Chains A and B, each alone.
Chain A
């Protein structure tokens, strides 16, 4: 796979989040989040289950509305734009779901064709076929093209889910627990794939995880979400050398010290 190499443009912000709040009933999940993501940067959001990590990326993708604060994605205020503008913005955002979310009633080929046929109607059948084959090749699963999602392993499903988002060549990738439920070897393959996607397509990514190996391997920057706020931010080494007691058990569990 040809790679361009990492190029993070610190002058160009692709996501700007300010004072973001979100509640579900009496459960105040996000309590004033501020976050900037730069062009070509992989940012890992770490945190315990139920701290609102997935809620954060669902707000970025416009699947949930924030209660307060602003979320600016590629120059668009997600909460303020029309549904049609949001649809156009979503074409530039790739979302890899925790459950992969492949369409059960479609083959791998049909899953990959789905966003392309609906949003790039000018493409010929040959061009669509070529795009599908390229996306599958990028995730190393060309042989699964005619299989059904139920016939794939968990790791393969994750990869196909990523391929389905890559086919639209997004500027931003949002990964929700990309290594959850996978064995260590498959997890490393997914981590490598995340880095390859960043280098090949120069995407900016938010990776939601509580897997520290994933965080260390893929993250240019790590932000730790606790009690609805970011309590630490920096490189992996900066965060875990800070001596913050709240992160100790996290580190100990992942690296069995």
Chain B
């Protein structure tokens, strides 16, 4: 194309299929879909980067333990404390362990773990990969004959997908412990009695659906934050935006997925 025709093309108003913003939105959705497809293509191809996966599991899982412990314990205590007045109105405080266990295992543990991990790990991955992108470290990895997508993205997504369910189970235990502390100090219930009452109403489907939710949340946190970081543009401003969008988008998707999975498991519960 010569200079004259290039200038003419630049002067012509750009045409959009729907509108500029909607076109950009659908393009982003398409690009994100391609990114997910690329993840699954790379997932089964060697090399498998086991060492890096274990390192990421440690970074994501073990390093999140203090925050998960604190949040879980407080959630257990506060939820129990807030539920007691409503149950005592009906003289049903003996149901407290059962109510708390159902709430924690079915809803609170997966959701709170998902949101905490999205905030802590999602922002970390988004900012780390974003800064690697803008300082050409990803290009440097590529010219070192290392597939950066496998080394950086696949390993992190596997690690979040594996670690969030484990963190969720850990949080459920800690939250139940917090709930027991509150119940014991008010009703002098023994630990055995608390556990027996608490797990009386819990069925396999409750635990299965929570683990399933956590696996989906973990995958979402990993893939969203890796996508935001890996496709960062516009320098340091882009890094900040990648970290922020990683958290916001991951949390938004977690809520959507929560609704869908609860709806599906409720169908099984009824039938």
Bitwise, B65-77 to A at CB < 8 A (1) or not (0) is 0000000000000
Q: Report the Cα distance A19→B9, complex, angstroms.
A: 24
Q: Is A115 an interface residue (CB 8 A)?
A: yes
Partner pick for B146 among A63, A88, A98, A118, CB 8 A cutoff? A118
Q: Report the Cα distance A112→B140, complex, angstroms.
A: 12
Q: How far is the CB of A250 from chain B (nearest CB, A)?
A: 23
Q: Report the Cα distance A93→B131, complex, angstroms.
A: 24
B144 close to A114 (CB less than 8 A): yes
Contact A90 to B143, CB < 8 A, known contacts A28-B1, A28-B6: yes
Q: Is A119 an interface residue (CB 8 A)?
A: yes
Q: Report the Cα distance A118→B1, complex, angstroms.
A: 44
Contact A91 to B6, CB < 8 A, known contacts A99-B136, A101-B139: no
Q: How far is the CB of A49 from chain B (nearest CB, A)?
A: 16
Q: How far is the CB of A38 from chain B (nearest CB, A)?
A: 22
A63 close to B139 (CB less than 8 A): yes
A95 close to B143 (CB less than 8 A): yes
Interface size class of A (residues with CB under 8 A): 20 to 34
A115 close to B136 (CB less than 8 A): no
Contact A97 to B144, CB < 8 A, known contacts A28-B1, A28-B6, A104-B131: no
Additional A-B contact list (7), CB under 8 Å, known A95-B139, A115-B146, A119-B144: A28-B1, A63-B139, A87-B145, A90-B143, A97-B140, A101-B136, A118-B145
Q: Report the Cα distance A93→B147, complex, angstroms.
A: 16
Q: Report the Cα distance A95→B131, complex, angstroms.
A: 19
A115 close to B10 (CB less than 8 A): no
A97 close to B145 (CB less than 8 A): no
What number of B residues sit within 8 Å (CB to CB) of A?
19
Residue of B nearest to A64 (CB): B139
- A95 surroundings in chain B (CB, below 8 A): 139-140, 143
Q: Is B142 an interface residue (CB 8 A)?
A: yes
- B147 surroundings in chain A (CB, below 8 A): 83, 87
B143 close to A63 (CB less than 8 A): yes
CB neighbors of B among A40-93 (8 A)? 58, 61, 63, 83, 87-88, 90-91, 93
Contact A90 to B1, CB < 8 A, known contacts A26-B6, A104-B131: no
Contact A63 to B142, CB < 8 A, known contacts A26-B6, A28-B1, A28-B6: yes
Q: Report the Cα distance A105→B132, complex, angstroms.
A: 10
A97 close to B136 (CB less than 8 A): yes
B143 close to A103 (CB less than 8 A): no
A118 close to B144 (CB less than 8 A): yes
Q: Report the Cα distance A99→B145, complex, angstroms.
A: 19
Q: Is B263 an interface residue (CB 8 A)?
A: no
Residue of A nearest to B142 (CB): A63
CB neighbors of A among B71-104 (8 A)? none
Partner pick for A90 among B6, B10, B128, B144, CB 8 A cutoff? B144
- B137 surroundings in chain A (CB, below 8 A): 101-104
Q: Is B188 an interface residue (CB 8 A)?
A: no
Bitwise, B125-141 to A at CB < 8 A (1) or not (0) is 00010011001110111
Q: Report the Cα distance A247→B145, complex, angstroms.
A: 38
Q: How far is the CB of B8 from chain A (nearest CB, A)?
A: 10
Q: Report the Cα distance A98→B137, complex, angstroms.
A: 11
A93 close to B6 (CB less than 8 A): no
* Closest 9 A/B residue pairs (Cβ): A101-B140, A115-B144, A101-B136, A95-B143, A87-B145, A90-B145, A97-B136, A91-B145, A101-B137
CB neighbors of A among B114-173 (8 A)? 128, 131-132, 135-137, 139-147
Q: Report the Cα distance A126→B32, complex, angstroms.
A: 44
CB neighbors of B among A158-176 (8 A)? 161, 164, 168
Q: Report the Cα distance A118→B147, complex, angstroms.
A: 11
A61 close to B144 (CB less than 8 A): no
- A99 surroundings in chain B (CB, below 8 A): 135-136
- B1 surroundings in chain A (CB, below 8 A): 28
Supply 15 A–B pairs (Cβ within 8 Å), ascending by A: A26-B6, A26-B9, A90-B142, A90-B143, A93-B143, A95-B143, A101-B137, A101-B139, A103-B132, A103-B137, A104-B132, A104-B137, A115-B144, A115-B146, A168-B144
